[in-house]
């Protein structure tokens, strides 16, 4: 009997799955990577492919479907030959992304969030593409395009209507600049690949040779051949390097806890999932300083005794994967990765890159580890902490890209040198992702202690009324606070530095951030899942002119509930943009209030507007409150 076209397609998809699963050694922990690669090959995740993944990995089909439904970049329905995702960060909106998206939808005859009737294209939004310094930005089939304007939109639409493959598109469409405006010790490091590893190995050897024979014997009895790693660990502790993700936990303490933890294997994980809107420093570090990152990871592995490392790369940076893998292969050839690194017996370490699939909450370290294991990215209960029970429940250090790059600097220059830079409680430098209303957006690296005012002057910001430091979950400062300093003891930050001039409505800025939190809540805990939706509804109600002072008070009360009961930091910080702007720009809220008394969130008369339109009635009797 002849095979039907549908049967042939199903067979082809199953063959694709078998090939990808075999390349992943039938490892169930690679489930997310398998699904991502199957989607790249098939265009989406058809039911037959999901069933084959489940069979091949010996996993329940319900679990496979659950993973496919959790991550926003995975699609179980066709999304067209071209899947277009406009960046919906507040800076993109400020640059006209909403109008450009409407223009593209009009040209391509497609509704936002849907697939065109001919199956050619789908157009939707994603939270932030890491292109805040050169937006508006978008992803087309995972590839980043910035500097969108009417002419570029017209070009893109024509290319899609002509059904041209992305390989045939003009190369200039995909050019993404680094935009490094101010470099300091990290962005201007000047080291050759492997220099930090060589320095770490020398540091251990020097420690051995300088010790008296009797002391050397005592040390070797205590740490054996690991004297070198201990010396490196001590330098990192002496530097007072703190995590650059915003929380500022002391890196040396984390590494030491991992080194002393009980476990069969230790892991080094780089958190390259910078999903905080307004942050794009990792994009540049991964593009132009990948060797420094991998050096830092290898130094960390040497210090804690790890044999395997992972880079968790955010899905929006999928376009960097091939380039990063090429750097890793070059390092293996140069004996900077693999067995016996640089001729050091027993120093075995390698790195794999895992790509995320669109989940902001995976930036939280324990959710990231679950995602790395092929699960839904849900924050874990703590304790235990990753340093004792991390990846596969083994001792694991999780540091972000900038932290590991800084560790590479310390391996070469020493802890005392690093601690001499910055402030008493914040050593070293900080890279700021500067975007918004300024003449020169981009990366600015300063020693800790720089004032907000200096950054504003350097980037050409004028008539500034507010700066959002560290993204939506951070702090909004107004003109009275511009002499505050970027430092853990004053304004801690993961790196985002978003500028708003006096033309911006800070209520709308806060509303955009509230929409972001509601969209990105993983749904695991009820307080966050429901609370963020309630915040969004309250802000929309105020926007529509139906709010009262009661709604403002309810937001403050809801904040207390989220702080006490939300499972992770997303819920804890969801109210921050509203509370900050309400305190500092209250008139922008109050001028939208209908009255000072309570008003219900649901407007029944407005809800009947569609019915009036369908029946052709709009007379007073068709409105509630006007009945005879």
Q: Is the pLDDT of residue 211 over 50?
A: no
Strand 121-126, strand 82-87: pairing:
parallel
Query: How many beta carbons lie within 10 A of that of residue 234, not counting itself?
Result: 16
pLDDT digits (tens, 9 = 90+) for 260-319: 999 999 999 999 999 899 999 999 999 999 999 999 999 999 999 999 999 999 999 999
CB 309 within 8 A of CB 297: yes
Write down the CATH superfamily of domain 195-419. NADH-ubiquinone oxidoreductase 51kDa subunit (3.40.50.11540)
Task: Kindly calculate the radius of gyration of the chain based on its CA atoms and give it in whole angstroms.
Answer: 26
Of 81, 85, 89, 15, whose CA–CA distance to 53 is shortest? 15
Residues 374-387: pLDDT tens digits?
Answer: 999 999 998 999 99
Map out the domains of the chain as residue ranges. 5-70, 82-177, 195-419, 429-504, 516-590, 601-628
Residue 217 has pLDDT above 70, yes or no: no
What CATH number belongs to 429-504?
3.10.20.600
CATH number of 82-177: 3.40.30.10
Report yes or no on whether pTM surpasses 0.75.
yes
pLDDT in tens, 589-612: 999 998 766 555 566 667 777 777
Q: What is the mean pLDDT of the chain?
A: 92
For residue 79, pLDDT beyond 50: yes
Q: For residue 559, how far is the Cα from the chain centroid?
A: 24
In whole angstroms, give the CA distance from residue 514 to residue 4: 49
88-100 pLDDT tens trace: 999 999 999 999 9
Count CB atoms within 10 A of the CB of residue 418. 24
User: pLDDT tens digits, residue range 320-338?
Assistant: 999 999 999 999 999 999 9
- What separation in angstroms does the CA of 229 have from each of 150, 232, 431? 56, 5, 28
Peptide bond into 389 cis (omega under 30): no
Name the least confident of 298-312, 330-344, 474-488, 558-572: 558-572
Strands 143-145 and 121-126: unpaired
**Over 70: is that where the pLDDT of 462 sits?**
yes
| pLDDT above 70 as % of the chain | 93
Contacts of 276 (CB under 8 A, 6+ apart): 128, 363, 470, 471, 472, 473, 494, 495, 496
Residue 349 carries which DSSP code?
B
Report whether 367 contacts 325 (CB < 8 A): no
Residues 308 and 267 sit within 8 Å (Cβ to Cβ): yes
Which is nearest to 422 in space by CA: 408, 411, 436, 406?
406
Q: pLDDT category, 625, cuts 50, 70, 90?
A: low
**Residues in a beta bridge with 466:** 478, 500
Residue 484 burial (CB < 10 Å; 0-12/13-18/19+)?
middle
pLDDT of residue 212: 39
């Amino acid at each position: 009997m002849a095979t039907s076209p549908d049967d042939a397609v199903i067979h082809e998809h199953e063959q694709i799955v078998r090939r990808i699963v075999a390349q992943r050694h039938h490892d169930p922990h690679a489930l997310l990577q398998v699904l991502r690669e199957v989607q790249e090959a098939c265009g989406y995740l058809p039911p037959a492919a999901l069933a084959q993944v489940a069979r091949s990995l010996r996993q329940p089909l319900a679990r496979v479907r659950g993973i496919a439904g959790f991550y926003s970049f995975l699609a179980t329905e066709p999304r067209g030959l071209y899947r277009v995702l406009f960046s919906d960060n507040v800076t993109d909106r400020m640059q006209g992304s909403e109008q450009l998206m409407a223009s593209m939808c009009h040209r391509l005859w497609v509704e936002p969030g849907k697939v065109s009737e001919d199956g050619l294209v789908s157009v939707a939004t994603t939270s932030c593409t890491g292109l805040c310094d050169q937006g508006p930005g978008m992803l087309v089939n995972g590839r980043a395009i910035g500097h969108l304007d009417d002419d570029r939109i017209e070009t893109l639409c024509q290319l899609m209507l002509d059904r041209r493959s992305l390989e045939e598109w003009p190369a200039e469409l995909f050019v993404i600049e680094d935009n490094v405006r101010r470099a300091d010790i990290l962005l201007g490091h000047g080291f050759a690949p492997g220099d930090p590893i060589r320095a770490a190995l020398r540091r251990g050897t020097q420690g051995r040779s300088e010790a008296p024979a009797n002391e050397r014997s005592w040390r070797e009895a205590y740490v054996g051949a690991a004297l070198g790693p201990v010396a490196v660990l001590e330098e990192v502790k002496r530097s007072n390097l703190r995590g650059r993700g915003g929380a500022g936990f002391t890196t040396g303490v984390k590494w030491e806890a991992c080194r002393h933890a009980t476990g069969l294997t230790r892991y080094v994980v780089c958190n390259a999932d910078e999903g905080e809107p307004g942050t794009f420093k990792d994009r540049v570090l991964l593009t132009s300083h990948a060797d420094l990152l991998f050096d830092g990871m290898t130094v960390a592995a040497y210090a804690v005794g790890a044999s395997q490392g992972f880079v968790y790369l955010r899905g929006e940076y999928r376009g960097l994967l091939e380039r990063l893998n090429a750097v890793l292969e070059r390092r293996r050839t140069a004996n900077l990765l693999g067995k016996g690194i640089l001729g050091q017996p027993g120093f075995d370490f390698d790195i794999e890159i895992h790509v995320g699939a669109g989940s902001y909450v995976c930036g939280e370290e324990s959710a990231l580890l679950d995602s790395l294991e092929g699960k839904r990215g849900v924050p874990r209960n703590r304790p235990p902490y990753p340093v004792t029970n991390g990846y596969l429940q083994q001792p694991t250090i999780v540091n972000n890209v900038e932290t590991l790059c800084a560790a590479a600097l310390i391996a070469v220059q020493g802890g005392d040198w690093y601690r001499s830079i910055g402030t008493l409680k914040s050593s070293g430098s900080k890279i700021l992702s500067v975007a918004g209303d300024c003449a020169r957006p981009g990366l600015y690296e300063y020693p800790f202690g720089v004032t907000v005012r200096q950054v504003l002057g350097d980037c050409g910001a004028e008539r500034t009324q507010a700066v959002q430091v560290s993204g939506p979950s951070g702090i909004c400062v107004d003109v009275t606070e511009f002499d505050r300093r970027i430092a853990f003891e004053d304004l801690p930050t993961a790196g985002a530095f978003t500028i708003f001039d006096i033309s911006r409505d800070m209520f709308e800025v806060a509303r955009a951030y509230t929409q972001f939190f509601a969209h990105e809540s993983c749904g695991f805990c009820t307080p966050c899942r429901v609370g963020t939706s309630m915040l969004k509804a309250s802000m929309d109600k105020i926007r529509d002119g139906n709010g009262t002072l009661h709604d403002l008070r309810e937001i403050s009360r809801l904040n207390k509930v989220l702080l006490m009961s939300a499972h992770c930091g997303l819920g804890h910080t969801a109210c921050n943009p509203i509370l900050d702007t309400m305190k500092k720009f209250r008139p922008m809220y109050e001028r939208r209030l209908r009255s000072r008394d309570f008003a219900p969130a649901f407007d029944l008369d407005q809800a009947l507007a569609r019915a009036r339109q369908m029946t052709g009635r709009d007379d007073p009797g068709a409105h509630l409150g006007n009945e005879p």
